[in-house]
Amino acid sequence: MPELITRPRRLRTTAALRDLVAEARLDARMLVQPHFVVPGDSVSHPIDAMPGIDHQSVDRLVETVAADYDLGIRAALIFGVPDESEKSPDGNAASAEGNLVATAVAALKDRFGAELTVMTDVCLCAYTDHGHCGLIKDGRIDNDSSLPHLAAMALSHARAGADVVAPSDMMDGRIAAIRDVLDEDGLVETAIMSYSVKYASAYYGPFREAAHSAPSTGDRRSYQMDARNRREALLEAQLDVEEGADILMVKPALAYLDVVSDLAERFPLPLAVYNVSGEYSMVKAAAEKGWIDERAIVLENWHAFRRAGADILITYHGRMALREGWL
């Protein structure tokens, strides 16, 4: 037998040694917990397709975020889920004075101040009566007429105190439109986390129930990215960088680690991944059946995201992971 000079197994002999040389590390400070806020008071209803995640009114949201904060989560991403009666062709309720998300943001900033990073999703889909992320004109999603509405929505969130606005609509030019209105309003320190690379994905199914935002006609393939494309992701991210994005994002995460790696290597900005509802719910369903070890699967996925180059993990599993002591 030849003499072995290099033995990689030497650094795997104990858990302490493996931890010492680990290349991808996890920290509670890189987790973002999403929340779905609804009208009313003292409302907290479970979302059937996403066990452990609820629709909550602002008062209950603040309580939940406080509990998350005590666990170590320092960032929340807020999605508004308005009443059906508030929906309209142009989604104007998204930016109306005292809108649902702005109210939630103000309540969170009043409670936590600078100790909590409050992020808001910016998209019209939950507010339009047709469920699309932009305005419809002549039977098509009209890019340019949608931009002022998205910018107004982001501005309302920023004025309420949001630290980060996160446009997820995938309209061309929306980062520049949002940056312009924020700067003109003196909100130069409000950051933009762009859903730069958002694919038209089957992994979003449970989210559509959570956000009540499924399109009434057609689909979103004319504006969200084609799952077959990789190089196009670099173009989308480059455009967002040039328009003023502060943080880039890839959504979904698990099926697009090649794209995560590409963006991490190409751009010096912080990179987020969205561990989306379908990824979450598949793990929850299999764990409930006893087919997988939920903790082991979640941590393996998270380490994969980190190994690919992600700095920020937006995940529905954050609360459970910290409550159960997985990190």
Catalytic residues: 198, 251
Reported residue count of the chain is 327
| Euclidean distance between CA atoms 222 and 171, whole angstroms | 10
Q: Are residues 106 and 78 in contact, defined by beta-carbon separation less than 8 angstroms? A: no
């790696």: which residue's tokens?
261
Counting beta carbons within 10 angstroms of the beta carbon of residue 126, is it exposed (0 to 12), middle (13 to 18) or buried (19 or more)? Answer: buried
Q: Are residues 232 and 172 in contact, defined by beta-carbon separation less than 8 angstroms? A: no
- Other CB atoms within 10 Å distance of the CB of residue 156: 22
Q: Where are the alpha helices (DSSP H) in the chain?
A: 15-21, 58-71, 100-112, 143-160, 174-184, 205-211, 231-243, 257-266, 277-288, 294-308, 318-323
| Euclidean distance between CA atoms 289 and 107, whole angstroms | 39
